[in-house]
Amino acid sequence: MFVSDSILLQRDKFLILMNFEHEIVWENAQVYEEVYKNSIKDPNEFWMRYVKDIAWKRVPNSAYDNEKKEWLFGGVTNVCYNCVDRHAAKTSEKTAIIWHGDEENERREISYAELQQMVIQIASILKSHGIKKNDVVGIYMPMTPEAVASMLACARIGAIHLVVFAGFSPEALKYRLTTSNAKALLTITSFRRGGKEIKLAKNIPSDFDIDVINLDNISFSNNAEAGIEWQTSEDNLFILYTSGSSGTPKGVLHSALPYMLYVATTFKVIFGIRRDDVYFCTSDIGWITGHSYITYAPLFHGLTTVIFSGSPTYPQADRYWKIIEQEKVSIFYTAPTAIRSLQMFNKKLVKKHDLSSLRVLGTVGEPINKSAWKWYFETVGNKKCPIMDTWWQTETGGIILAPLRNLEQTPGVAGKPFFGVETDIIDGELVIKNKFPGLYKAIVHEHTTPDDALYKTGDGAVYQGTDVKIKGRMDDVINISGHRLGTAEFECAINKVSEVKESAVVAIPDELKGQTAFAYVVLTSPLERNDFAEIVKKIVNSTRNNIGSIAKPDYIVFVPDLPKTRSGKIVRKLLRNLANGGENLPELHSVINSEVIKILKVSVKNPIFCPDMCKLK
């Protein structure tokens, strides 16, 4: 355990500061235990306190209606109204969004009044294109105020937004828009990242029949036509695709009002926000973090949210630190993979900036290793800021685990369930046993809803004392630099290469990215050794074209066959084990072509490193 005196001291200070605007008093562990116990016994009482933070057109009778089995039943309001209009009315001049672009001098400030005008403008464009309540609208945009405003514009008119990460390929974009029945797509022509121009509009397949709305020249206007569509407990806010065990990504549907209650409350309590906070989250609106904790939660509370569309290492690896200094950021939320990559650069790049405005640090997306935690705590936080290691998922909408009782902190231990959420570990898997407002409503094209009794997270976990430590995914999901990708998605893309007969992809640890993809590939006919470079390139290109450049396998081994069971199932456990250097091979008796194991054992030690191979020629 890593316990620092200074964090204990600072934690006390933090606790006092938190009392400033909060009713929950975090003096000691017992307070957490008590508030938690009551929140499970009577979730209604707990959530009703935070239902009051929402500006209602009609107030719901209770937080959870047992009969209707619905959160906020009877309540009427609108998510955009809560995130924009009510602040534009009261604190119109306050900065809602600070944007930093790719170049260091690119900066914009958008006040709540201006954000409202921008949202109304986009909403009226959507309406003029015939978009109505419940229509699905794609958003394929980089990190700009317009992208955030596009999400809010959909929320305003009751349309369901579907953000597709701007790094996803044309195929991935098309799949998401088609399977969710999207009516229109908001995009811009191009943007710059890391000094390079990225031509986004070119990625929209020309044979694809969808109403493309280009927002290159959006102006502020006050068009009364784009009025607010009031939402009830049954209405939806967005669909966001993520990877599961099946071959194709799944479209996760979230409600409007219960989701808003969950993200607003977790944000308020876990980060201990104050009205004057300047908050900077380095995620992207293409991921759930960018939905919940760049857009909705900070704007709901009327804070200033900083967004950045550049690369953290361009022109130098101090962009985050520079932005924190310049904007006096008080809460900074990033991913372990970003910390690890910035940790490699000279400490001076951090130390030359005044980061004393920081009060709370957060991480999300993957387990944080000790060395990254220590560096974040000492070098970035100057041993003064608690680190909120937050565990959650696209499906949970908002944070589930955090060091909520953090009188002391252990690197890599996310800690305690949020109030009103009952977690458990069953057969090594983290599960959620009760209803909470953040949980997704459905997987759109599969027409499935979450299991009533138990939500299985797919993550392995263990108790460390009474805290929960996350071990990582138990299913066929790979977490590469905090990006969640399915092994089956990789395999589909690899199998599209005409020389490939079949493939199996497994996750292996990677110092920088957390995990990376290791591919076993069987070819239709044997190749000469010097022909491999061509095939490797084809494989890498196919994953890039079908998924996106974030999804390239790093290692490939060409093998004559894959281990299979009598029914023809690939024995993935064995492949996972071998790629991870495993010696104790499981379930060998079920493999019918056991002669292949010997070959696998040898070839697995000599994989082709794709980035090297792709550099050739």
470 contributes a contact to ligand WT7 by CB under 6 A: yes
H or E stretch at 76 = strand 76-77
Q: How far apart are CA 12 and CA 8, in angstroms?
A: 6
Closer to ligand WT7 by Cβ: residue 44 or 369: 369
Closer to ligand WT7 by Cβ: residue 251 or 365: 365
Look up residue 275 and give its two tokens.
């009205």
The least distance separating ligand WT7 from the CB of residue 362, rounded to whole angstroms, comes to: 9
By CB under 6 A, name the one of 364, 488, 575, 578 that touches ligand WT7.
364
242 contributes a contact to ligand WT7 by CB under 6 A: yes
Closer to ligand WT7 by Cβ: residue 203 or 243: 243
Phi-psi region of 35 (alpha: psi -120 to 50; beta: other; left: phi over 0): alpha
Q: Are 315 and 104 in contact (CB under 8 A)?
A: yes
266 contributes a contact to ligand WT7 by CB under 6 A: no
Torsion angle in degrees (nearest 10) through CA of 315, 318, 321, 322: -40
476 contributes a contact to ligand WT7 by CB under 6 A: no
The least distance separating ligand WT7 from the CB of residue 390, rounded to whole angstroms, comes to: 5
410 contributes a contact to ligand WT7 by CB under 6 A: no
Closer to ligand WT7 by Cβ: residue 121 or 289: 289
By CB under 6 A, name the one of 113, 414, 523, 559 that touches ligand WT7.
414
Closer to ligand WT7 by Cβ: residue 75 or 367: 367
By CB under 6 A, name the one of 291, 405, 441, 473 that touches ligand WT7.
473
Q: How far apart are CA 251 and CA 595, in angstroms?
A: 41
Provide the residue type at 213 as one letter. I
The C-alpha R_g of the chain, in whole angstroms, comes to: 24
The residue range among 1-9, 150-158, 361-369, 380-388 that interacts with ligand WT7, by the rule CB under 6 A, is 361-369
User: Which of the residues 280 through 309 are near ligand WT7 (CB under 6 A)?
Assistant: 287-289
Total residues binding ligand WT7 (CB under 6 A): 23
Q: How far apart are CA 76 and CA 74, in angstroms?
A: 7
112 contributes a contact to ligand WT7 by CB under 6 A: no
Q: How far apart are CA 599 and CA 416, in angstroms?
A: 45
Positive or negative torsion for Cα 344, 347, 353, 354? positive
Site pattern 196..235 for ligand WT7 (x: CB under 6 A): ----------------------------------------
By CB under 6 A, name the one of 64, 71, 262, 392 that touches ligand WT7.
392
The least distance separating ligand WT7 from the CB of residue 457, rounded to whole angstroms, comes to: 6
Give the 3-state DSSP-derived string for 173-209, with helices as H, strands as E and coil as C: HHHHHHHCCCCEEEECCCEEECCEEECCHHHCCCCCC
391 contributes a contact to ligand WT7 by CB under 6 A: yes
164 contributes a contact to ligand WT7 by CB under 6 A: no
User: Which of the residues 428 through 457 are near ligand WT7 (CB under 6 A)?
Assistant: 457
Number of residues assigned to the chain: 617
394 contributes a contact to ligand WT7 by CB under 6 A: yes
**Look-up of token digits 């310049």:** 326
Residue 328 neighbours by CB distance under 10 Å: 15
459 contributes a contact to ligand WT7 by CB under 6 A: yes
The least distance separating ligand WT7 from the CB of residue 412, rounded to whole angstroms, comes to: 8
Q: Are 551 and 485 in contact (CB under 8 A)?
A: yes
Q: How far apart are CA 151 and CA 167, in angstroms?
A: 18
Cα–Cα distance list, 448 to 186, 316, 395, 452, 613 (Å): 28, 46, 13, 11, 42
Scanning 52-206, the segments in alpha helix (DSSP H) are 79-80, 86-90, 112-128, 145-157, 170-179
The residue range among 231-239, 306-314, 468-476, 560-568 that interacts with ligand WT7, by the rule CB under 6 A, is 468-476
The residue range among 69-77, 123-131, 184-192, 472-480 that interacts with ligand WT7, by the rule CB under 6 A, is 472-480
505 contributes a contact to ligand WT7 by CB under 6 A: no
Q: How far apart are CA 337 and CA 516, in angstroms?
A: 12
Closer to ligand WT7 by Cβ: residue 229 or 389: 389
- Write out the residues near ligand WT7 by the rule CB under 6 A: 242, 287-289, 364-367, 389-394, 414, 457-459, 470, 472-473, 479, 484
